[in-house]
Structure 1
Amino acid sequence: MGAAGCGKTVVGEALAKELGAIFIEGDRLHPPENVARMARGEPLTDALREGWLEAIGERIAASVTDGQKAVAACSALKRSYRDRLRGFCPGVAFLYLKIDRETAWRRVAGRKGHFMPASLVDSQFATLEEPGADESAVTVDGAHTIAAIVKEVLD
């Protein structure tokens, strides 16, 4: 979890590989209307995120029900979003890839072929609620290398 540009996809893919888990790319589960909105530079509202969070939660739950490990990339910016995902799979744990706004902006601006423009980075940070001490979450510096992040998480 974390703001756009924190490395959710690349870290998630690497972590899933190390764990022998399936990887669920949350960005691919956005409905076309949400993708179009973001591509126009319009931030999503809580209501627009509901179906997306449901799709991710259902994929996680189905994987666990099938006896598979799963790693999902999802911004999960608010506690209420994480609570919704926990509703599908109470044992879900979150890896918060913490980065600063400038790093996020630079990474998002440098992406090729992604629907989310760098203009939405500020809205991500405005929405972000870092995980509380009572949540099942690990915070890692998202500016570290992918290998270092995966090692830290596995350790």
Structure 2
Amino acid sequence: MTSPDRKPIRPRPDAPRHLVVMGVSGSGKSTLALELADRLGLPMAEADEFHPPENIEKMSQQIPLTDEDRWPWLRTLRDWMSEQTAGGSIITCSALRRSYRDVLREAHGQVLFLHVTVDTPRLTGRLAHRSGHFMPASLLDSQLATLEALHADEDGVVLSNDGSIEDLIDAASAWLAKSEEGSLR
């Protein structure tokens, strides 16, 4: 998706910079994260790949995860980010609660959150047509109920994915460029 005339964004060289692309299932986290990883030349990980088999089994059976299910998973993600010391990393993670984001923020370096949002009817439609994923559409309401918006003191931005994917990528890129200049928000 990167066009040859686009200038790639560069991470700050002084500390690892980790981007957590967050939001509920079906919001477009993976699409955005893959494009940013390509543009930034950073390693990327899907948080879903870090779930232990027990978590996947629960979700496959349409049982929402509890905080106790999530803590070890979040610590594993935090540790993976901390190991990416060359320039940072990008992960996709629902990061629904502030307390979950607090664990991720413990990673070595700077952790920024890009919260991808989509209106509920569009989310429902996306999940109804998605196949091959263990997260059933029936758990969307649980995720939406659990979701806590980014607080004013959290380094992050809310990005609407109700337009084109290029609009989403452009908005994320513009915010990241501002964050490099030290002019967040």
For the aligned pair, the TM-score class normalised by the smaller chain equals over 0.9
Q: 2:46 aligns with which of 25, 28, 32?
A: 25
- 2:69 is aligned to 48
Within-5 A mapping of 1:59-70:
59-63=80-84, 65=85, 67-70=86-89
1:87 to 2:106 alignment = yes
Unmatched runs of 5 consecutive residues or more in structure 1? none
- 2:79 is aligned to 58
Whole-angstrom CA distance in 1 between matches of 2:71 and 2:119: 26
Q: 2:55 aligns with which of 34, 53, 58?
A: 34
CA RMSD of aligned residues (A): 1.1
- How far did 1:28 drift? 0.7
After TM superposition, the score normalised by the length of structure 1 is 0.94
| Contact 1:26–1:74 (CA under 8 A) maintained in structure 2 | yes
One-letter amino acid of the counterpart of residue 166, structure 2: A
- 2:7 is aligned to none
After TM superposition, the score normalised by the length of structure 2 is 0.79
- 1:106 is aligned to 125
Q: Secondary structure at the match of 2:110?
A: coil
One-letter amino acid of the counterpart of residue 88, structure 1: A
Within-5 A mapping of 1:4-15:
4-15=25-36
Which runs of 4 or more aligned residues in structure 1 lie more than 4 Å from their structure 2 counterparts after TM superposition?
Answer: none
- 1:127 is aligned to 146
- Figure out how many residues of one structure are paired with residues of the other and give that number: 153
- How far did 1:150 drift? 1.4
**Quick check: which has more Rg, 1 or 2?**
2
Higher helix share: 1
Q: Secondary structure at the match of 2:27?
A: coil
Whole-angstrom CA distance in 1 between matches of 2:46 and 2:111: 16
Unmatched runs of 5 consecutive residues or more in structure 2? 1-21, 175-185
Q: Secondary structure at the match of 2:56?
A: helix
Whole-angstrom CA distance in 1 between matches of 2:120 and 2:52: 26
